[in-house]
Amino acid sequence: MDPLAALFAHVTPSARTFFTGNLCRTVQFDGSLLHLLKDGVLKVSQTGHKDIDLSEPTLLFFPRGRAHRFVGDPERGADLVCATVDLGGGQGNPIGQGLPELIVLPLGSHPALAPVCDLLVAEAFSDGGGRQAALDRLFDYLLILIVRHVIDSGIVAGGVLAGLADPRLAKALTVIHEEPKKPWLLEELAELAGMSRTRFAAHFRAVVGRTPIDYLTLWRMTIARQLLAKGKPVKAVATQVGYESPAAFSRVFARLTGHAPRELESAFDKTS
């Protein structure tokens, strides 16, 4: 069982490189961003948080768009590679909700990341053909490694990634991710986790932050949002995520997202 395979099958993180070079001034950033400090010194400032001084190769990830400011040394500067990040799935994405506000990973303490970061740096500071595509794909892979690290290290105490770090809950979450269409019962999920119904329900809510059935519904809507954005008709989407009628699906979708499915369908039609 690979707990991440089913998750990434529906919400695949992707990145787009937007800066490579030496930063020797102060720059304000906003959005879901991934930064790789290759060399130099850098001060990272965030409103309401203590400044972070960096002087060694470090990976910084702001998954939920917290505003931050980089203050580069005017003489030495800082060699950086930066990318915007789309975690996939839009609002309600379980990966985005499960990650910390900021992840700081000094490469000297995380050798598993070093080979990919070395490739990123080599591409970023070269002029080879296909450089942009190579950088973006390397960042895509790096995002998967970061999510894997968050789960394996247990640095998050709640959310779906914390649930996937729990061997028992991971079994239930994985089947939800793999088969969102199935009308899962609490008893079935508890049996998969090897726990009593009451204990499973309480433990799931304590770790993931919502009931198993509420999470199933949220996961269905996450998938539905992506299918609608691809131009799939409401009726087909409703069936694909486990609803017997488009009307029942539309009510749940509107309640959780604040938008009727037809709105996303219409928006896609206008951009096609």
Over range 87-91, report the average pLDDT: 66
- Kindly report the CATH number that applies to the domain delimited by 3-153: 2.60.120
Cβ atoms 199, 238 nearer than 8 A: no
Topology match between the domains 3-153 and 179-271: no
The per-residue pLDDT of the chain, averaged, comes to 90
CATH topology of domain 179-271: Arc Repressor Mutant, subunit A (1.10.10)
The pTM of the full predicted model, rounded to 2 decimals, is 0.84
Q: Beta strand pairing status for 58-62 and 26-29?
A: unpaired
pLDDT at 202: 98
Q: What percent of the chain has pLDDT over 90?
A: 67
Cβ atoms 169, 207 nearer than 8 A: yes
CB count, 10 Å around CB of 133? 11
How far apart CA 190 and CA 171 sit, in angstroms, is 10
Query: What are the boundaries of each domain within the chain?
Result: 3-153, 179-271
Tens digits of residue pLDDT in 200-248: 999 999 999 999 999 999 999 989 988 898 889 999 999 999 999 999 9
pLDDT at 162: 93
- Coil/strand/helix, residue 231: coil
Tell the residue number behind the tokens 């409401």, with chain if given.
234
How far apart CA 68 and CA 194 sit, in angstroms, is 44
DSSP 75: T
Tell whether the model's pLDDT for residue 91 goes beyond 70: no
Tens digits of residue pLDDT in 121-163: 999 999 889 999 999 999 999 988 998 898 888 888 889 999 9
CA contacts within 13 A on the Cβ side of 103: 30
Q: In what order do the strands lie in the sheet with 49-54?
A: 26-29, 68-72, 42-46, 49-54
Over range 97-125, report the average pLDDT: 91
